[in-house]
Amino acid sequence: MNRRQFVLLTTFFSGISAVNNAAAQFNLGKALDAGKTLVESETLNDDDLRRYFDQMAADSDRRNRVAGSGDPYGQRLAKLTSGLEKHDGLALNYKVYLTPEINAFAMANGTIRVYSGLMDKFTDDEIRYVIGHEIGHVKSGHTKARIQTAMRTSALKSAASSAGGKTAALAESQLGELFSQVITAQHSQANERQADDYALGFMKKKKYPAVACVDALEKLDALGGGSASWLSTHPSPKERAKRLKAMV
């Protein structure tokens, strides 16, 4: 091998080494970044999570028609939730969305929203069951667990970064994605049983007729699909009604 061939061969292998080193550094960088965002999502404290939910709740309220204090729906819900602004160690806030959909949801920051379509179909005691059920989701930390998962497994994990000790503001597109993953995704059967058990205890403690839990679920089952969007997030009302009937 002459000197020119030796130089060319050395350059060739050096090039391969440089490429491999760059690839290794790139992959290591990605791994470190992924690990960093995973740690960030796992170490979000309750104040961080509350701020994210506050942003989500404010965005949802802007997107919907909210019943005012002079609206019959708003007045009815205010009457049904009187004294429940503080309950079981939770600070709760309630509003009605003026929409024909039959739905309700809760967030880990104490946000509870009830749709006027549901109020049209339900008696006062059946609405009390729904409220108790949604409080159960808050108390059991179901949406808190969901937001941590969303921060870990989606593009939203980048939003978990904090600047100057303050939780990062979420963009409008991120709020929509987070709402979809945390609020409008279907609850598991285990979560539903836990929230139903809480609602049953809530009704008994408040001396409301516990059978209203069963009545509400049977009514939801009879309504079926259509505008009953609560069914898409709170599954199997028939089985749940049967289970609660035995407990009542």
Q: How many helices (H) and strands (E) in the chain?
A: 11, 7
Identify whether the C-beta of residue 167 lies closer than 8 Å to the C-beta of residue 50. Answer: no
Helix (H, G, I), strand (E, B) or coil at 42: helix
Query: Known catalytic residue: 126?
Result: no
Residue 248 in contact with residue 211, Cβ under 8 Å? yes
Catalytic residue (choose from 40, 85, 101, 134)? 134
Residue 188 to residues 14, 107, 140, 155, 236: CA-CA distances in angstroms? 55, 16, 13, 23, 10
Distance CA(134)–CA(118), nearest Å, equals 14
CB-CB contact of 192 with 234 (8 Å): yes
The answer to whether the CB of 104 falls within 8 A of the CB of 130 is: yes
Tell me the residue type at 178.
Answer: L
Buried b (16+ CB within 10 A) or exposed e, 126-136: bbbbbbbbbbb
Helix boundaries (H) for 43-141? 46-63, 72-80, 116-121, 124-139
Q: How far apart are CA 135 and CA 209, in angstroms?
A: 18
Q: Report the catalytic residues.
A: 134
